[in-house]
Structures are given as structure tokens and as C-alpha cells.
């Protein structure tokens, strides 16, 4: 199975028009993937290219429009490029002779790693670029040689020293150790494609296998029978958040309990802020935004558009609930609470960016699993520290 985009390290390529961004992408991937032209503004929408780098793993390179684009669509192109800043884990910034580095200040504000590149070293202008920006210690790249391997090594070095901020390395963390027995209660959502498990379930199963733990998958209807078949209670039960209450009533007192969504909120985002934020529901609130990352058409039993709104309106009959999908995340300041899904299809950088924006504006933000546990009255009884 291919690694999904949400689990790849996102490496964004920025620079002026004609600085060689698309040429660099083709050079790094070894194929003519991005269109290369001397015409300004050739790259319009961000271009994504997945790749596997030995010693680094699955990455996603993102080629962006030139930051000094002055074409008729320059504003829209720049807006799309700015969105890439939020989702990138590492920046590659291509220098050019006319560059004043003003855009670099936007990148520095994120405190993410920046690798400066002096391209076109096979040309006279490349030597001048290297000399002009020598204080930045840029990597000199000649697309006609194997200089890219030096860049790959730099990427691996940055990832290894900065891994904690780029990507969480474990979903279950210290909740599961080698030899533990873990029960997964996995009712299948009708929105899930036939014969396939949803992504958080697949990711969790794979990790439990890698940890040499015993992983038992079952349904809610078969949970009681599964428990009676075991000699000892399981160390941990991981359930779908929608049936938190039912599973809690059946679980042995010795077994810890959490959900896939709760684990994903810790894996992808800031679970401490999510738990603090959900307690906003202790007071009267007027406006809520439910942000669903997936773009599948909602169905009759959809958790984000049907089940959670019903649970909220049982508590707040007059609350206004708006919905956002995919990368649409604007005008969030007007909400008293933002509720996001497990974000399995987003990379960690994208989720953390949203959290930081909410913190900056003092907007509470939580996720599906934390919300449901709170509304079921068992938030203090679940395990989430991974």
C-alpha cells in the first residue's frame, strides 16, 4: 500500500518566478513531472509529487508559483502558495539574483526548517547567486551532476534532529507495550468503501503488529463474547468514538479505554488544547464550526453533519452550526468552538497550523473523539496520553 499524503513529509519549494523550482522538482524526482519554461508564471496551482527517499521515507514535494508573480492571476496564485506554508514540514527556498528575501520572513515565522539553495551552478548566474547569498550557506545545486544527493542528506539530517516537531512517530505511544493484548472495536461506517477499513483503523493495526502486541478486532455486538474468550482482561480497548458509551459499560475495570479519533488527535494535533477547549461547552455558546477534512459526500448517518450536530443541539437547542470541508478554514474567529475530525487525511503540520491560529485568536478547538467523550460524560475516564 502506498503511504497516504497525510503521512508523508511535506517539502515545499519556494522562490521567485524562473528561479528553477520546477526544474529542481524534476531533477530531484528524476522525471519530467513539472512543466519548465522561461515564461513567467508557468506554475499556477501547487504541484504535488510523491517520492520515497531512502533513509527518510515517504515525502511529498510541492512546487509553488513564483512569489513575485505579476500576471493577471498573481493574487490568487500567491494565496494558494501561502496556504502551502501551513502544510509544509520543511522549506526549500531557491535563491535568485533579484531576490530581496522579503518572503523568507513569512517562512521564518513558522519556525520550520529552511534549506536555502543556490541553483544553476552550471551557469554564470548560478556562481553570482552563490556569492551574493553566501551568508545563508546555501546548498549549491548543478542539475547536470549528482548534487541532489547532498540535498537528500540534508533533508535526512533535518528530519532526524527535528522529528518531534515534524511528525509524531507513534499513534499509541506508551499506551501499548510489547506483549499487550489490545481489542479494537470497529463498527464499519457506511461511508467507508466496501471491503476496506477506514484509515485510522488500518494505521493502528499496523502499529500494534509492529509493537509485537496482540491485536483483536471485533464489533460492538461481539465485544462481550470477545471479552469472555480472553483469559485476562485486555490492556487497552480502542473503539470508534461514536460508541464510547456502549463500550465503556462493557469494558473490564482493569482495561484502559480510548478511541481511534482520540489517538489521532494526539498523533496529529495538540490534544491538551483539545481537552481544554471542549470544556467551553460548560458555558453557553452560540456559534460552532465543524471542520471535516475528508471531502466524501455526507450520508444519512454521517457523524460530522448528522450525529454530532444532533448531540450538540440536545444540549444547546438554539446553537448555530456551520460546516467546512477540506482545506477551507477561514473566518474562524466568529466561532465559540471549532470541532475538527480526526484529521487522518491531513499531515500533522496542517493540523498544528490550525491549532496555532486558533490559540492566537483565543478560539477553542477540539476534535470529534474528545467532544463525544465529553458529551458522554467519560472524558476523565479515557486514556489519551500517548
Residue 366 has pLDDT above 80, yes or no: yes
pLDDT > 90? residue 235: yes
CA-CA distance, 280 to 375, in Å (whole number)?
12
Residue 99 CA: distances (Å) to CA of 66, 133, 278:
11, 10, 45
Closest to 21 (Cα-Cα) out of 9, 11, 39, 34: 34
> How much of the chain exceeds pLDDT 90, in percent?
54
- The residue with greater pLDDT, 120 or 192, is 120
pLDDT level of residue 151 (50, 70, 90 thresholds) = very high
Read off the pLDDT band of 163 (50, 70, 90): low
Place of cell 535563491: 95
Q: How far apart are CA 105 and CA 99, in angstroms?
A: 13
Greatest distance between any 2 Cα atoms in the chain:
76
d(CA 239, CA 217): 10
The answer to which of 109-113, 192-196, 258-262 has the lowest mean pLDDT is 192-196
Task: Give the C-alpha separation, 42 to 61, whole Å.
Answer: 18
pTM of the complete model: 0.83
Task: Compute the mean pLDDT over every residue in the chain, rounded to the nearest whole number.
Answer: 86
Q: Is the pLDDT of residue 86 over 80?
A: yes
Taking each helix axis from N to C end, the angle separating 368-375 and 308-315, rounded to the nearest 10 degrees, works out to 40
The CA distances from residue 332 to 45, 220, 261, 282, in Å, are 24, 36, 22, 21
Q: Tell me, what's the pLDDT at 297?
A: 58
**To which H or E segment does residue 144 belong?**
none
Q: DSSP strand E in the chain: where?
A: 9-15, 47-53, 57-63, 90-94, 114-118, 139-140, 181-185, 214-218, 236-239, 256-259, 287-292, 320-325, 337-340, 365-367
Q: Which residues of the chain form CATH 3.40.50.11420?
A: 181-263
Indicate the pLDDT class of residue 145, thresholds 50, 70 and 90: confident
**What does the pLDDT read at residue 286?**
93
Residues 6+ apart with CB under 8 A from 142: 120, 121, 122, 126
Helix/strand/coil for 92: strand
Residue-wise pLDDT tens digits, 252-306? 999 999 999 899 888 988 999 999 999 999 988 999 999 987 766 556 667 888 8
Q: What pLDDT sits at residue 74? A: 55
Class of domain 181-263: alpha beta
CATH 3.40.50.300 residue ranges in the chain? Answer: 9-165
Q: What is the pLDDT of residue 73?
A: 45
Say if strands 287-292 and 236-239 run parallel, antiparallel, or are unpaired: unpaired
Would you state the pLDDT for residue 137? Answer: 94
pLDDT at 358: 95
Q: Please determine, for residue 179, whether its predicted confidence score (pLDDT) is greater than 90.
A: yes
Radius of gyration of the chain (CA): 23
The pLDDT of residue 1 is above 50: no
pLDDT of residue 249: 94
Of 52-66, 124-138, 220-234, the one with minimum mean pLDDT is 52-66
> Which pLDDT score is estimated for 330?
80
Lowest-confidence region among 18-22, 59-63, 89-93, 126-130: 18-22
Please tell me whether residue 350 adopts helix, strand or coil conformation.
Answer: helix
pLDDT digits (tens, 9 = 90+) for 301-352: 678 888 899 999 998 899 999 998 877 778 899 999 999 988 877 888 989 9
pLDDT exceeding 70 applies to what percent of the chain? Answer: 87
Q: What is the residue-wise DSSP string for 110-174? A: TT--EEEEE--TTSHHHHHHHHHTGGG-PEE--TTTTTHHHHHHHHHHHHHHSHHHH--S-SSGG
Average pLDDT over residues 226-245: 94
Return the pLDDT at 12.
95
> Topology of 271-376 in CATH?
Rossmann fold (3.40.50)
Q: Does domain 9-165 have CATH number 3.40.50.300?
A: yes
Stretch(es) of the chain classified as CATH 3.40.50.11410: 271-376
Amino acid at each position: 500500500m502506498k503511504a497516504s499524503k497525510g503521512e508523508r513529509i511535506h517539502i515545499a519549494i519556494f522562490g521567485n518566478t524562473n528561479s528553477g523550482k520546477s526544474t529542481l522538482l524534476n531533477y530531484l524526482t528524476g522525471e519530467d513531472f513539472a512543466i519548465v519554461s522561461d515564461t513567467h508564471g508557468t506554475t499556477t496551482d501547487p504541484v504535488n509529487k510523491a517520492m520515497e527517499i531512502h533513509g527518510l521515507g515517504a515525502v511529498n514535494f510541492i512546487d509553488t508559483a513564483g512569489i513575485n508573480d505579476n500576471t493577471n492571476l498573481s493574487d490568487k496564485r500567491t494565496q494558494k502558495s501561502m496556504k502551502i506554508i501551513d502544510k509544509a514540514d520543511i522549506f526549500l527556498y531557491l535563491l535568485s539574483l533579484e531576490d530581496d528575501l522579503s518572503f523568507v520572513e513569512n517562512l521564518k515565522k513558522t519556525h520550520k526548517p529552511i534549506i536555502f539553495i543556490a541553483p544553476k551552478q552550471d551557469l554564470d548566474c548560478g556562481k553570482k547567486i552563490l556569492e551574493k547569498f553566501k551568508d545563508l550557506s546555501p546548498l549549491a545545486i548543478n542539475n547536470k551532476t549528482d548534487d541532489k544527493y547532498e540535498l537528500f542528506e540534508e533533508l535526512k539530517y533535518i528530519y532526524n534532529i527535528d522529528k518531534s516537531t515534524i511528525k509524531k512517530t507513534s499513534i499509541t505511544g506508551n499506551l501499548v507495550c510489547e506483549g499487550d493484548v489490545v481489542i479494537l472495536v470497529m463498527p464499519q461506517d457506511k461511508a467507508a468503501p466496501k471491503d476496506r477499513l477506514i484509515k485510522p483503523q488500518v494505521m493502528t493495526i499496523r502499529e500494534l503488529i509492529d509493537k509485537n502486541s496482540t491485536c483483536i478486532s471485533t464489533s460492538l455486538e461481539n465485544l462481550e463474547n470477545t471479552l469472555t474468550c480472553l483469559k485476562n482482561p485486555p490492556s487497552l480497548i480502542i473503539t470508534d468514538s461514536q460508541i464510547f458509551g456502549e463500550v465503556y459499560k462493557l469494558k473490564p475495570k482493569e482495561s484502559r479505554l480510548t478511541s481511534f479519533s482520540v489517538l489521532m488527535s494526539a498523533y496529529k494535533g495538540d490534544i491538551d488544547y483539545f481537552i481544554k477547549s471542549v470544556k467551553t461547552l460548560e458555558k453557553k455558546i452560540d456559534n460552532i464550526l465543524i471542520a471535516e477534512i475528508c471531502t466524501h459526500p455526507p450520508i444519512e448517518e454521517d457523524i460530522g453533519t448528522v450525529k454530532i450536530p444532533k448531540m450538540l443541539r440536545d444540549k444547546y437547542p438554539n446553537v448555530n452550526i456551520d460546516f467546512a470541508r477540506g482545506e477551507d478554514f477561514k473566518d474562524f474567529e466568529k466561532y465559540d468552538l471549532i470541532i475538527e475530525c480526526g484529521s487522518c487525511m491531513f499531515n500533522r503540520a496542517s493540523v498544528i497550523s490550525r491549532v496555532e491560529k486558533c490559540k492566537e485568536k483565543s478560539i477553542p478547538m477540539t476534535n470529534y473523539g474528545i467532544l463525544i467523550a465529553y458529551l458522554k460524560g467519560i472524558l476523565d475516564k479515557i486514556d489519551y496520553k500517548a
